[in-house]
Chains A and B, each alone.
Chain A
Amino acid sequence: MSSMAELFYTLIILFIFSSLLYFSGKSLKRVNKNPFASGEMVFPQRVQYLLPWLFSLIAFIAVDATVLLIVVSASTVNIVTIACLALVVLSFLLIPWSER
């Protein structure tokens, strides 16, 4: 088991290592006035999205928290875990998949 200080120290060493690797590259820079480096002009347009999308974002957080709860409480499976799972399945059924 590593201590907290050791992890922090490793993170700093790795940050220094990666910055050295990054800044060892060539740093000559050209600024392009054109908004696209490829030189291609595309008219501004709205990104399309579906309505179920915003629901699925919320469902995602619910599922994620539940599954992480199961991962953390791996040793003690109890009725709470199963109730969480059932609630998540229920929340999936509430997403209006057909609407646009």
Chain B
Amino acid sequence: MMLEVVQIIVSLLIIVSALMVTEVRGLVRMALSFSIMSALIAILFITLSATYAGVFQLAIYAGFIPIIILVTVALTRGGEDVGD
């Protein structure tokens, strides 16, 4: 019973954070909310007793993919208004 409540809450949070990925302004915050969504999915996997799948999700999708997105953003952001 307790586990089901946790799963429902986590699922709702996943939907909220997935919406945040599309709605939030700024690429940095977008990547961060993507990371939060992946971490929540990892928690859902672990509560479904698929420990290794959850840990894998945490390592690849919450850790590396946002870093790849951010690095690509940082590398290809052209001559922006950094000055005044």
The interface of chain A, by Cβ under 8 A from chain B, is 4, 35, 41-47, 49, 53-54, 57, 60-61, 64-65, 68, 72
B56 with A72: CB separation less than 8 A = yes
Q: Across the A-B interface, give the 9 residue pairs with the lowest CB-CB distance, nearest first.
A: A44-B82, A49-B75, A44-B79, A44-B83, A72-B52, A46-B79, A57-B68, A46-B78, A47-B75
Note all chain A residues with C-beta closer than 8 A to B56: 68, 72
Interface size on B, residues (CB 8 A): 23
A47-B74 in contact (CB<8A)? yes
Q: Do B77 and A47 touch across chains, with their CB atoms under 8 A apart?
A: yes
Residues of B within 8 A of A68 (CB): 56, 59-60
A-contacting residues, B19-55, CB 8 Å? 46-47, 52, 55
**Interface SS, B side:** helix
Considering the chains assembled together, what is the distance between the CA atoms of A47 and B74 in angstroms? 8
Closest beta carbon of chain A to B84's beta carbon, Å: 7
Nearest B residue (CB) for A43: B83
Contact B68 A61 (CB under 8 A): yes
Contact B68 A45 (CB under 8 A): no
Q: Closest CB-CB distance, B50 to chain A, in whole Å?
A: 12
- Shortest beta-carbon distance from A92 to chain B in Å: 17
Chain B residue at smallest Cβ distance from A64: B64
B82 near A4 with CB under 8 A, answer no
Q: Can you list 12 A-B pairs, Cβ within 8 angstroms, ordered by A?
A: A35-B84, A41-B83, A42-B82, A43-B83, A47-B74, A49-B75, A49-B76, A61-B65, A65-B60, A68-B60, A72-B52, A72-B56
